A = this chain, B = another copy of it.
Amino acid sequence: MSEQDTATDRPARGISRRRLFGLAGIGAAGVAVGGVAGGAIARATDDPATATASAASDAIAFTGAHQAGITTPQQDRLHFVAFDVITDDRDVLVELLKNWTAAARRMTAGQDAGPTGALPDNAYVPPDDTGEAIGLPAAGLTLTVGFGPTLFTAADGRDRFGLADRRPAPLQDLPPFQGDELDPAISGGDLCVQACANDPQVAVHAVRNLARIGQGVVSVRWSQLGFGRTSSTSTGQATPRNLFGMKDGTDNLKAENAKALDDFVWVADGDGPDWLTGGSYVVTRRIRMEIEAWDRQPLREQEQVIGRTKGTGAPLGQKAEFDPVDFRKQQGGRFAIPQDSHVFLAHPTNSGTAILRRGYSFVDGSDGLGRLDAGLFFIAYQRNPETGFVQVQKKLRGDRMNEYIQHTSSAVFACPPGVRDGEDWWGRALFTA
């Protein structure tokens, strides 16, 4: 095999997959046009002159006061994974979190998961990267970790890791809601990682390598791919459309509104516990959409259910998407925005709160009943689930949209603050402070 060692594009030990571009004479920013998985290599090496920096291919900083992947302008693709911890050994778990953090630092920078990469100098040892992202840029990858209720107190009541007294009071299984059709096998979890990227291969690679590193310590409980974002988390982003064909997330909290984020997203000093200050809670709900029933409805019915027009996404009674909602406006003796519409019930004016949504559309094959198994994987970040998602969801009891949706999974996790530069790791304050 020694002959293989001289292959021209083989990176030296410790050189990132991004350096591959550098070694070929291309700027480190890489190129990703049209979301071509793997195509970036060809374009970069085939024609260096065309290499230009592209926001979609760039790296997003892993460290900071808050974790990336919450207010980061929402990337296009998702791989979300929930793990069960299958060891009772706290030290083993801590070691994993340290190893995961090291891998996350590398992968979000566009590097291999470990220093030897997929091509170790010694071909007789397993690689420490699985290789499918060789040559791909960072693609805006963010990895966001969360700790579930069962990490603190196991389902059987045991305090496996000595964390029970550090459990945040709001970190509770969500209460049952009308219309829940939850499948326990794809709900809950001890740990979660949300991988968002502009290239699905990069997001899948990251989750797969974290699962690989965790072999024998954690077990994949459930995992969800999302093919397209259904929210904007920055004012610079266009509002995407969900599988109801409607613009979704127009009035979402945005990264540029620091005051609202402090009020509604970040756990503040004094909220408790201390280890979570600067963090957030994430709620996930897999929401199956009854798209066949929806598609049979007249346009007017669809718009009345949502409370916005399908074309522009304007609130009913207004002209343009970002016109303010006016719940008092009447048309023909009725409220322009029906009081049982989704927008009316979910809007902060009526829910009294706000959440940062970060959901993705999914199609998970078919349902065995002749229909696509499609919908929205809802993700929301909030300062407190009780005054965030739970409060909003209770308001939605009479939502006309409920006729067209079913919640099939549910989970909640406490997401610690951001990892700092240096020796910090996911959960350090939780396990050591």
Contact = CB atoms under 8 A, between A and B. Distances in A.
Contact of A35 (B131, B198, B291): B198
Nearest to A134: B241
Contact of A303 (B4, B244, B364): B4
Identical copies of this chain, number: 2
Given A54-B34, A314-B4, A363-B225, A208 B320 contact: no
Interface string A336-375: 0000000000000000000000000101111010111110
Contact of A199 (B35, B204, B302): B35
Contacts of A201: 227-228, 241, 361
A132 interface: yes
A85 to B, nearest CB: 11
Nearest to A82: B366
Interface stretch (A5-13, A142-150, A423-431): A5-13
Interface string A216-229: 00011111110111
Contact of A79 (B7, B32, B244, B363): B363
Interface stretch (A157-165, A232-240, A275-283, A393-401): A232-240
Given A76-B34, A299-B127, A365 B366 contact: no
B198 A227 contact: no
A243 interface: yes
A245 to B, nearest CB: 2
B310 A119 contact: yes
Interface stretch (A37-45, A91-99, A258-266, A410-418): A37-45
A372 B34 contact: no
A319 interface: yes
A77 interface: yes
A56 B36 contact: yes
A366 B222 contact: yes
A99 to B, nearest CB: 15
Contacts of A110: none
Interface residues of A, number: 110
A319 B7 contact: yes
A222 to B, nearest CB: 5
Contacts of A302: 127
Contacts of A3: 317, 319, 331
A228 B208 contact: no
Interface in A53-88: 54-57, 76-77, 79, 81, 84, 86
A242 interface: yes
A286 to B, nearest CB: 10
A123 B35 contact: no
A187 interface: no
Contact of A227 (B125, B200, B331): B200
A207 interface: yes
A201 B362 CA distance: 10
A241 B86 CA distance: 31
Interface in A1-51: 1, 3-4, 6-11, 32-39, 41-43, 46
A302 B314 CA distance: 55
A120 interface: yes
Contact of A4 (B237, B298, B316): B316
A246 interface: yes
A390 interface: no
A309 interface: yes
A1 B304 CA distance: 10
Contact of A366 (B129, B223, B372): B223
Given A320-B8, A363-B223, A132 B245 contact: yes
A338 to B, nearest CB: 12
A178 interface: no
6 contacts: A7-B311, A34-B56, A37-B228, A46-B238, A223-B373, A364-B365
